[in-house]
Amino acid sequence: MSAQIDKTIETSPQLVIRQIKEWAEILINFEAKNKYEIQTLSGEKLGYILERDGGLLATLKRLFLRSHRPLEIDILDKDGNNVYHLSRKFFFFFSDLTIADKEGHKLGSIHRRFGIIYKKYDICDKSGNPFAHIQAPIWRLWTFPITNRTGQNLGVITKKWQGLLREAFTDADNFVIDYGKGSWQTPQKTVILCAAISIDFDFFEDNQGNN
């Protein structure tokens, strides 16, 4: 089944990541493990992105370390089969997210970089070489352009407006990944897809508490 989700990622010019929030989380302001659906723009369900439970210790890390906590995340196809694995260590300032296939072979990584007026990421291949960058002005809160080394726009990751009540009372997030003009290979498109997860944890994880 992993071949099926790879094929859809390969052929889709745009993909959607939709965060799943339970009403209990919303009503009592409890930060549970993160869950997402991967969809095509037309709404076809491709799979899921699930933060591993990890028991009581993981719950305490979510409560106290918040968006800086270490992460273990699985990407499943729509039948529940493991396809990819994402991992991130605890960090103080700049996050590093690693993506591997189900056999543990590294596909790439996403690294947040220092920026004063820009939110910056390097999007890297399995050898750690950047093949794309994200450089988003801080005043464009929900738009994250994907560029090459010369600054040419190749695509964009966008957080979508959920409506006034949903934005005010929950940190559930939807992202559209537009691959734009990039001539991406499938592993590169998969790593870019995962960049939206890194952005969500880094910039939108604590929205509910801030509200």
Q: What is the pLDDT along the chain (211 residues), one digit of tens a residue?
A: 467 788 889 999 999 999 886 544 444 344 557 899 999 998 899 999 999 876 565 556 655 566 778 889 999 999 999 999 999 998 888 999 999 999 999 999 999 999 989 999 999 999 999 999 999 998 988 999 999 888 899 999 999 865 444 444 444 579 999 999 888 999 999 999 999 999 999 998 764 444 3
User: Which run of H or of E encompasses 101?
Assistant: strand 96-101
CB 51 within 8 Å of CB 36: no
Strand 130-137 to 174-178 pairing = unpaired
Nearest in space to 110 (alpha carbons), one of 191, 54, 47, 33? 191
User: Which run of H or of E encompasses 150?
Assistant: none
Q: Which residues pair with 16 in a beta bridge?
A: 39, 176
CA pair distance 159, 14, nearest whole angstrom:
13
% of residues, the chain, pLDDT over 90: 59
| pTM, full prediction | 0.85
CB 153 within 8 Å of CB 146: yes
Type of residue at 112: R
